[in-house]
Amino acid sequence: MPEAVHIGRNPSTGPDLEELMSLVARGDQQAFATLYDAVSGPVLGVARSVLRDPAQSEEVAQEVLTEAWRTATRYRPDRGTVMNWVLTLAHRRAVDRVRSAHAAAARDEKAARLGHTPAFDQVQEEVETRLEREQVRRCLRTLTELQRESLTLAYYRGLTYREVADMLSTPLGTVKTRLRDGLIRLRDCLGVSV
């Protein structure tokens, strides 16, 4: 049985990204190129998970990264890490795209989507990413099935909690609370603090 791996520092809170971001906010393109290397993989991963279509995902990734450059001065270190900030932008943008485009078609696709597991394949084989993935997987396993399914459908597929409730044939109120207590349990397992 593999040992639980302790990661010295939380991979999403590396100090260098915050420092880079202050240079980016002053228009430093070289610093942005370095920031790109750190965040583009996760940004594209989030977009692909929600959108599925590779071309659309790349478009969204481009938009998100350009947005990060344009609004760099809005980033506030006291509100969370750079990675959080960029991935929140990415998820939000991907979800907006999927909701506007799929408003009608999504109804038919729902059944197909339910069959998918999160896109943990196709990952770059970097040690840090692998450890991160292991940790998230391990923590997802500590959730109840309903918590895990609700979280997965909402985050990895970009569904609203009403759609999640619909798909899992579960009352709205239950899904709402499962999304919250599932995230709280993950927070404690991952040791996330802001």
Q: Alpha carbon 47 to chain centroid distance?
A: 8
Cα–Cα distance list, 176 to 171, 172, 192 (Å): 9, 6, 21
The three-state secondary structure class of 178 is: helix
Q: Of 92 and 110, which CB lies nearer to another protein in the complex structure?
A: 92
- Name the minimum Å distance from CB 143 to another protein: 12
- Name the minimum Å distance from CB 149 to another protein: 13
For another protein, the binding residues in 4-33 under the rule CB under 8 A are: 11-12, 25, 27, 29-30, 32-33
d(CA 145, CA 147): 5
The verdict on 79 binding another protein (CB under 8 A) reads yes
Nearest to 97 by CA among 43, 155, 167, 50: 50
Q: Which of 23, 52, 56, 84 binds another protein (CB under 8 A)?
A: 84
For another protein, the binding residues in 114-133 under the rule CB under 8 A are: 118-120, 122-124, 126, 129, 132-133
d(CA 127, CA 148): 25
For another protein, the binding residues in 37-66 under the rule CB under 8 A are: 37, 40-42, 44-46, 48-49, 58, 61-62, 65-66
CA-based max dimension of the chain: 50
- Name the minimum Å distance from CB 189 to another protein: 9
Count the Cβ atoms, other than its own, within 10 Å of residue 59.
15
For another protein, the binding residues in 133-192 under the rule CB under 8 A are: 133, 135-137, 151, 154-156, 158-162, 164, 173, 175-184, 186-187, 190, 192
